[in-house]
Amino acid sequence: MDISLIDYQSTSAAGINLDALRSALSTQQSGLRANDFPRSGLPTWIGRVSQIDDIDLGEWQSRNNALANIGISQGTILDNIEQLKSRFNPNRIGLVMGSSTSSIDRTETAYTDLNEEGLLKPEYQQKTVHNPHAPSLYVAHLTGITGPALTINTACSSSAKVFASGARWLQSGIVDAVLVGGVDTLCLSVLHGFDSLQLVSENPCRPFDQDRDGINLGEASGFAILMRKEDAQHSTGIELLGYGESSDAYHMSHPHPDGLGAKLSMQQALKMANLNPESVDYINLHGTSSRANDRIEGQLVSMLFPKTTRCSSTKAWMGHTLGAAGITEAIIALDTIKTGIIPGSMNLSELDHDVDITIQAENVEQTVKHAMTNSFGFGGNNCSLIFGQEQGE
């Protein structure tokens, strides 16, 4: 595909930026804590980014926008955007954001404070915030990107699919660079929504463990800059090799029992990357720690990949960050190519008896040439991505 990653950054409970995330991963320091989200009271563990609690963005205010603001300010993302804006034209830079909650947190808050007629008070009359497109509207405003800006809302696959759309936009030549991102924040809708489906654990999550008892919710943002390889003056040395996108056609909130949709997305990504399963050194699994997901995904991976492919779920570091999980875990997966440290599946003590894959709690030091990540969302929406070391001309 020849799509290079120019830069990437991640913000979650596991670390405010990429350096902090690398450190948390290498020392197996979890960012999860007992649920202290205001007005919730649900007995569970969450991955909360406290640094955004007191940010005030005025007319753009929402917890989700605050996390986008902090997240994009890390590392060199904004510097690179400024350089690209002057090298090309802000109209030739695209933006694709993924989110499941957009800024629903702000709508929730507004409803606790309606006026006497039951309508929005002036400070909540934010039409660009109470809006599924809010993440892109805000990030375009922040960065001065004036090219096409799209928001993808496919639940928990949202910010994996941003890489597929970004790559297509570049390959069609309609833009010269694309900022892709994902941002989702904790809110009562997701905490109490997942609780209504009886999917939330009262304990720190244990993906793939025989005794796992549900998920922990978290919040995160992630950003990456993509360019056509021939246009990139510098890069991270990582490229996107393939993507797969599919549907389960089975159920709104339960995965296909045989993982048929997930199988299609992994196979498509391999085909596009022109790789055999043997060539994939590491898979960052969706691994939510729900009973159904981990068993189905684990069985599928054992059918498709050899034992030399190492696997883990990293959700015990920051929780399931929903619409931001795709890019958060894409970054964890592709960063193993740089660091040579494959994170373990933290909190795993006894592997699910029905699953037979190469997975363990401890980190492993190993050269990684090709890394894959899976993201599966409500509505049976699947996306798999494969990254590799950039090859010279």
Partner 1 sequence: MSLQAKIVSVGAWGHDFRDWQDLQNLFNGLAFEDDGAKGPKPEVIPANERRRAPLPVRLAVESSWQAAQNSPFSPEELSCVFVSALGDTQLTDYMCKVLAGESKQLSPTKFHNSVHNAAAGYWTISTGCMKAANSVAGYEESVSLTLLEALTQIENEKIPMLLTFYDAPVSAVLKGLLKNDEPFAVSLVLAPHDINADGVKINAEVLQESAQWPELKNCSEQLKALYENTPTARILTLLQLLMMTETNPQRTLDLPLSAGSSMRLIAS
205 flagged as catalytic = no
- Can residue 249 be called a binding residue for partner 1 (CB under 8 A)? yes
> Which listed residue (3, 5, 81, 188) binds partner 1 by CB under 8 A?
188
187 flagged as catalytic = no
Of residues 100 through 159, those in contact with partner 1 by CB under 8 A are 100, 102, 104, 107-108, 110-112, 114, 118-120, 125-128, 130-133, 136-137, 140, 146-155
383 flagged as catalytic = no
Q: At what angle do helices 291-304 and 260-273 cross, to 10 degrees?
A: 40
- Can residue 288 be called a binding residue for partner 1 (CB under 8 A)? no
Which residue in the block uniquely carries the two structure tokens 């950054």? 9
CA angle at 165 for the pair 162 and 170, rounded to the nearest 5°: 120
Q: How many residues bind partner 1 (CB under 8 A)?
A: 73
Q: How far is the CB of 173 from partner 1 (least distance, A)?
A: 4
> Which listed residue (17, 235, 247, 389) binds partner 1 by CB under 8 A?
247
- Can residue 37 be called a binding residue for partner 1 (CB under 8 A)? no
Closest-CA residue to 284 (of 366, 193, 370) = 370
The window from 259-267, 307-315, 335-343, 362-370 that contacts partner 1 (CB under 8 A) reads: 259-267
Closest-CA residue to 245 (of 385, 99, 101) = 385
- Can residue 246 be called a binding residue for partner 1 (CB under 8 A)? yes
Q: Are 376 and 154 in contact (CB under 8 A)?
A: no
From start to end of 40-188, where are the E strands? 45-47, 93-98, 149-152, 177-184
- Can residue 274 be called a binding residue for partner 1 (CB under 8 A)? no
Residue nearer to partner 1 on the CB measure, 169 or 317? 169
- Can residue 377 be called a binding residue for partner 1 (CB under 8 A)? yes
Distance CA 189, CA 320 (A): 14
Task: For residue 314, give the DSSP letter.
Answer: -
> Which listed residue (55, 73, 83, 379) binds partner 1 by CB under 8 A?
379
How many H-runs (helices) and E-runs (strands) does the chain carry?
A: 11, 15
Residue 23 host element (H or E):
helix 18-27
Of residues 189 through 208, those in contact with partner 1 by CB under 8 A are 189, 192-198
* Positions marked active-site: 156, 286, 320
